[in-house]
Amino acid sequence: MSVHRIGPTPATTTDHFSRDTPPVLTVDPGDTIVVGSLDASGYLERQQTPGEARPRMFDDQRGHCLTGPIAVRGAEPGSMLALSIQSVHPGPWGWTLAAARDNWLNRRLGLADAAPSWLLWDLDIGADTATDQYGHRVALDPFLGVMGTAPAEPGEHLTVPPRAASGGNIDCRSLGAGSVLYLPINVPGALLTLGDGHARQGDGEVGGTAIECPMTTTVIVDVVSDPVIPEIHAETPAGRITFGFDADLNEATAQALEAMLGWIGVLHCLDTPAALALASAVVDLRVTQVANQVWGVHALLPAGAVRGSR
């Protein structure tokens, strides 16, 4: 198996998803890829003061600054792409911005007319901490917010809303090192795109951004022809996770739970009503994010929560 390295350059970055964008790298299943990505806004230089305008990769950026797309030989529609996340290393700085959008949550919080608020973070990788300009210190918990394959539909697609058919801006903080994320393949080669490094984020990403930062991520890619369930799902150190994405919170919740019931049914030889009964005892439902035009919900079956099977 080969090891490939790709960094963020004008030739290897994009701000949208598209099946029509030629791949910047082609790899084989089982290969390792070391992916460098800029922060979501594509800053080429560190901010020296919170919110300072600095040069960016795209002058008129439409979405996240992402690295890719990357083609995987033999990846065909109907299969799933397995991303085994080996390591996630933030860069030396990051930022958080809140109250910058006119959305339902900011209006509800009385922030529709408020000035945006910035935090500028120093990231100390050795100490595993992030410190903002006020002296607040938090532990690092890095992951990539965006991991997605190309949608089946032609044209250029926004990176902001996550999609059940291709992933993308999932923003699930459990997808750090040691996780395996399974994404549907919609086009030959899959066309994987990665980025949106988060040094830390709470469930919900309630302010609209996390600690946004550059990132170096090492992944192993593989193709799975017979996935345990056809929906986006993940195996993480915390447990098994399924996802739902929809403008309706009820529907997003139902999607995440329905996929989890299917997984529980396979694992424990249960029909759907019995799987729902078991899930009611052990599965956690969490709001993944509220910031990306659609609700994100994930269902977590904690590791070791169920120890037997009939």
Shared domain for 59 and 187, answered yes or no, is: yes
Shared domain for 294 and 170, answered yes or no, is: no
Domain count for the chain: 2
Shared domain for 133 and 241, answered yes or no, is: no
For residues 46-70, one letter each, b for 16 or more C-beta atoms within 10 angstroms of the residue's C-beta and e for the rest, the string is: bbeebeeeeebbeeeeebbbbbbbb
Shared domain for 113 and 63, answered yes or no, is: yes
Residue 310 pLDDT: 53
pLDDT tens per residue, range 237-276:
999 999 999 999 999 999 999 999 999 999 999 999 999 9
Answer with the one of 207, 224, 241 that is the final residue of a domain.
224
| CA pair distance 166, 168, nearest whole angstrom | 6
Which residue in the block uniquely carries the two structure tokens 């019931």?
A: 261
Shared domain for 30 and 72, answered yes or no, is: yes
Residue 254 pLDDT: 98
Residue 291 has pLDDT above 90, yes or no: no
Confidence of residue 308 (pLDDT cuts 50, 70, 90): confident
Shared domain for 129 and 264, answered yes or no, is: no
CB under 8 Å to 236, separation ≥6 — which residues?
174, 175, 176, 178, 179, 180
What's the CATH code of the domain at 128? 2.60.120.580
Q: How many residues does the chain have?
A: 310
pLDDT tens per residue, range 93-131:
999 999 998 899 999 999 989 999 999 999 999 999 999
Shared domain for 197 and 139, answered yes or no, is: yes
Average pLDDT, the chain: 97
With respect to residue 69, please indicate whether it lies within any of the assigned structural domains: yes
Question: Structure pTM?
Answer: 0.96
With respect to residue 308, please indicate whether it lies within any of the assigned structural domains: no
Contact 168, 229 (CB under 8 A): no
Which residue in the block uniquely carries the two structure tokens 């994405």?
A: 245
What's the CATH code of the domain at 297? 3.10.28.20
Burial of 177 (0-12, 13-18, 19+ CB in 10 A): middle
Shared domain for 149 and 291, answered yes or no, is: no
Residue with more model confidence, 291 or 36: 36
Nearest CA to 236 out of 193, 154, 282, 173 is that of 173
Shared domain for 140 and 206, answered yes or no, is: yes
Q: Which two tokens stand for residue 266?
A: 């396979």
- Give CA 223 to chain center in angstroms: 19
pLDDT tens per residue, range 132-177:
999 999 999 999 999 999 999 999 999 999 999 999 999 999 999 9
Residue 1 pLDDT: 85
Confidence of residue 3 (pLDDT cuts 50, 70, 90): very high
Omega of the bond leading into 154 within 30 degrees of 0 (cis):
no
Answer with the one of 224, 243, 263 that is the final residue of a domain.
224
CB under 8 Å to 43, separation ≥6 — which residues?
54, 55, 56
Contact 309, 269 (CB under 8 A): yes
Shared domain for 58 and 20, answered yes or no, is: yes
Mean pLDDT over 43-50 rounds to 97
* First and final C-alpha spacing in the chain: 39
Shared domain for 148 and 214, answered yes or no, is: yes
With respect to residue 310, please indicate whether it lies within any of the assigned structural domains: no
Nearest CA to 186 out of 50, 62, 18, 9 is that of 18
pLDDT tens per residue, range 188-219:
999 999 999 999 999 999 999 999 999 999 99
Answer with the one of 203, 224, 245 that is the final residue of a domain.
224
Sequence-separated contacts (24+) of 268-275 with Cβ below 8 Å: 268/306, 268/309, 268/310, 269/309, 269/310
With respect to residue 292, please indicate whether it lies within any of the assigned structural domains: yes
pLDDT tens per residue, range 72-82:
999 999 999 99
Q: Tell me the residue range of the domain where 81 lies.
A: 3-224
Confidence of residue 178 (pLDDT cuts 50, 70, 90): very high
With respect to residue 24, please indicate whether it lies within any of the assigned structural domains: yes
Residue 309 has pLDDT above 80, yes or no: no
Shared domain for 75 and 161, answered yes or no, is: yes
| CA pair distance 292, 272, nearest whole angstrom | 31
